[in-house]
Structure 1
Amino acid sequence: MDIKQYVMCGCTNVPPAELDIPVKSQFIISVKVDGAKCMECGEEYYDMQSLKAIEELEKD
């Protein structure tokens, strides 16, 4: 994921990162996804495919 600038805080340091995303599931605590993380405010980004997969895990 290549983000040039986070528009909310103006930070241009938003490198790719492996993110540990919490999942509301009985059997899974969290999943690791490829994304990006703002080094100024900590905001995390990941793609829609990852979001849909996480939503499916939370349905069960």
Structure 2
Amino acid sequence: MQIEYEATFANIDKDEVRDRLQKAGGRLIKSEFMQKRRNFNLPRGNEIEGGWMRVRNEGDKITMRLK
């Protein structure tokens, strides 16, 4: 399974960042939500070198990705 990197930023004033983004022309597409995900190795006989699968609950939809 390949490594997928994610970043977490601590001590961020979300309201300040949102305000700055809005002033720069940004707009909110999706409100904050708790994302849940599960990663899976592919079954024997169906492996893809370096491949893996992810199922993610994005709040309003569930997605599956083969990577």
Q: Choose between structure 1 and 2: higher helix proportion.
A: 1
Q: Which has the larger radius of gyration?
A: 2
Could you tell me the TM-score, scaled by structure 1's length? Answer: 0.25
Q: Choose between structure 1 and 2: higher strand proportion.
A: 1
